[in-house]
Structures are given as structure tokens and as C-alpha cells.
């Protein structure tokens, strides 16, 4: 049975490759096992390495720019690996795995420390829950929730998040971390400085969000920033047009869609894997490669934080 399932899966992947489909993966946090206060469930480094080895066995992992140009000619599936947010875990845990396996990746960063910004709001929420507990944090934020993830969902649904004061400030990537990624040959993209849900902004604020902090990130990396990942994976046609006017090369959501040569370069999908072992991970990969690419409502794209498996 297992041999039959593997043969079927590999056949589906070859069919997807023949149709010119590519799959972009999106990770948020590679780190040791989660605790109960995490909003984004981390994928342990050894599990991330297992997934990357499995992916490399059945396809080609290429730079994101290669996916966009469809320059890779292969009868095997083509994949690209991306990361979102200014999490220091990218350098501490993900980069060594990528280096050891010779895998290129793109890191969509905000560059918050470069502009004097502190941690993202959900990092402060996690820290608050760790320090004073979930119930007390709920009272401060004015929401009821049974888990930290549920509290984060309530905050996003409300559209605003109250300021949280914590005894310790969660770490955020600094300039040295950003240079380490760039010097390692990784591509750096932009995730916007303040991580606002872009469809909710008026035209002026949207234009500012797409540019504020971009030049600082370019200075830190020494390279132009041409790729954009929409905060929370959310976009719509107006935001996509604004990203094009801001001279990005492409914009990425977190809608689980394979990329085809005909795809709109500013409405591209990515899949957020969970913590599955290799066999289940490859089955999920095959499913997303062959899933029909249907026209969707881009003003309703799914949020990147959290999702059931990995936040």
C-alpha cells in the first residue's frame, strides 16, 4: 500500500511539473519545541531539515527568482523556500540547515530594528502570556480567549492591538543578523516595516507602507529589494496595483496555490507547511501542486497568523 501511494504521489508530481507548476513554501519560525504561549508554532530544526531533504529528493529547490522566470527546465517539480518576519531564529536555527543542505531561500523582512521599531505585536503578546499568564493578558487587551493563538486571532479581528508592556523585550533581528543572511547568499525581500494589513489602508497610507523602511533594508543588505510578501498574506487588486507601481517585481500572499507561467506576479500564492514528518509532508506537497488554480476573491485571502499547524 505504501509503495502504491508513493508511486501515485510521484506520478502526480511529475504531472504537475509537466504542466509548469511551481510551489513556494512559507515558514515563519524554525526553533526548538513550542510552549503553550506561542502564537506561531515553531517547526523544530530537525523536522525542518527532514522536510527539506524530502523536498530535494523529489524535486528541485531553486531561488525564488528562478521560479518567477520559470528558468528551471526539469521533469521534476520545482520549489522555492521563503521565510517571513524579523525573527532571530531565522539566523540561529534555519540558516544552518539551509547552509548544510545547500538550499537557497528568500527572507521577507521588515527591518524593524533598522528604523528603531521594536518587536511585532504578537511577539509582545507571547511574552506577556509567558510573564503574567493568558488570563491577565486577555484583560489587558480586552478580549476573552482560551489560548494565545485564539487571543491573537481576536486581536486581528478587532483590527487594533493595545500596547503591551513586558518586563523583557522579545528579540528582533538586528543589522548584523540581516547582513548574515545576505552574506550567506540568501535573497532578502520586504514584508513592510509596520506589518499592517494593507487592504485596510487608504491610498496614501498604502503607498507609504510599501516604501517606508525599504531603503534602510536595501542599505543593510547592499542589494535592491524587489520582492514583497504582503503582511498576514492579505492583498486585493488595489494593493497589487500599488505594489506594481512601487516597482516591486512580484508580490506574495499565503493562499495555497501553485505558481504557473500565467499567474499574476502580484497575486502569487505560498503554502505554509506544518510540522509533519516526511511522508505526510510530501503528500501535502503533492496535493498543493495538483490542486486546481482557481480564480479567488483576493480581498479575502487567508491570514498568515496563526494557522492550525504552524501558526
Report pLDDT digits (tens) over 205-244.
999 999 999 999 999 999 999 999 999 999 999 999 999 9
- List Cβ neighbours of 238 (8 Å cut-off, separation of 6 or more): 199, 203, 206
Query: Residue 44 has which C-alpha cell?
Result: 523544530
Number of domains the chain contains:
1
- Domain membership flag for residue 211: yes
Would residue 137 count as lying in a domain? no
| 129 assigned to some structural domain | no
Give domain status of residue 106, yes or no: yes
Q: Is pLDDT at 308 greater than 70 in this prediction?
A: no
- Asked if residue 135 is part of any domain, the answer here is no
Helix (H, G, I), strand (E, B) or coil at 298: helix
Task: Write out pLDDT tens, residues 82-94.
Answer: 999 999 999 999 9
The CATH number of whichever domain residue 268 belongs to comes to 3.20.20.370
Residue 150, domain member (yes or no): no
What pLDDT does 311 receive?
34
Q: Which residues pair with 107 in a beta bridge?
A: 83, 188
pLDDT bracket for residue 7 (50, 70, 90):
low
Instruction: Provide the residue range defining the domain that includes 215.
Output: 2-120+172-300
Q: How many CB atoms lie within 10 A of CB 56?
A: 14
Residue 80 lies in a domain: yes
DSSP characters over 114-125 = GGT----HHHHH
* 125 closest CA partner among 88, 84, 155: 155
Q: Which pLDDT tens digit goes with each residue over 229-284?
A: 999 999 999 999 999 999 999 999 999 989 988 899 999 999 999 999 999 999 99
Is 62 among the domain residues?
yes
Q: For the residues of 123-178, what is the DSSP string, one character each? A: HHHHHHHHHH-HHHHHHHHT---SSHHHHHHHHHHHT-------SSPPP---HHHH
Report the percentage of the chain scoring pLDDT > 70. Answer: 85
Amino acid at each position: 500500500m505504501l509503495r502504491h501511494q508513493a508511486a501515485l504521489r510521484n506520478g502526480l508530481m511529475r504531472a504537475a511539473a509537466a504542466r509548469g507548476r511551481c510551489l513556494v513554501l512559507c515558514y515563519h519560525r524554525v526553533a526548538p519545541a513550542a510552549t503553550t504561549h506561542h502564537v506561531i508554532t515553531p517547526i523544530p530544526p530537525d523536522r525542518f531539515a527532514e522536510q527539506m531533504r524530502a523536498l530535494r529528493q523529489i524535486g528541485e529547490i531553486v531561488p525564488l527568482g528562478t521560479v518567477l522566470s520559470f528558468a528551471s527546465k526539469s521533469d521534476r517539480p520545482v520549489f522555492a523556500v521563503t521565510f517571513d518576519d524579523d525573527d532571530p531564529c531565522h539566523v540561529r536555527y534555519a540558516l544552518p540547515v539551509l547552509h548544510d543542505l545547500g538550499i537557497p531561500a528568500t527572507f521577507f523582512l521588515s527591518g524593524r530594528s533598522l528604523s528603531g521599531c521594536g518587536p511585532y505585536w504578537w511577539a509582545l503578546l507571547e511574552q506577556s502570556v509567558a510573564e503574567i499568564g493568558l488570563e491577565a493578558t486577555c484583560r489587558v487587551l480586552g478580549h476573552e480567549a482560551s489560548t494565545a493563538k485564539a487571543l491573537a486571532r481576536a486581536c486581528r479581528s478587532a483590527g487594533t492591538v493595545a500596547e503591551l508592556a513586558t518586563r523583557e523585550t522579545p528579540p528582533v533581528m538586528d543589522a548584523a543578523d540581516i547582513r548574515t543572511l545576505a552574506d550567506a547568499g540568501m535573497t532578502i525581500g520586504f514584508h513592510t516595516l509596520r506589518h499592517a494589513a494593507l487592504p485596510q489602508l487608504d491610498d496614501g497610507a498604502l503607498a507609504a507602507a510599501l516604501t517606508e523602511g525599504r531603503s534602510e533594508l536595501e542599505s543593510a543588505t547592499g542589494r535592491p529589494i524587489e520582492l514583497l510578501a504582503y503582511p498576514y498574506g492579505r492583498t486585493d487588486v488595489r494593493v497589487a496595483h500599488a505594489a506594481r507601481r512601487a516597482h516591486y517585481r512580484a508580490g506574495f500572499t499565503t493562499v495555497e496555490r501553485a505558481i504557473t507561467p500565467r499567474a499574476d506576479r502580484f497575486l502569487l500564492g505560498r503554502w505554509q507547511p506544518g510540522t509533519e514528518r516526511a511522508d505526510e509532508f510530501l503528500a501535502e506537497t503533492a496535493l498543493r501542486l495538483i490542486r486546481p488554480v482557481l480564480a479567488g476573491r483576493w480581498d479575502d485571502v487567508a491570514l498568515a497568523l496563526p494557522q492550525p499547524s504552524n501558526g
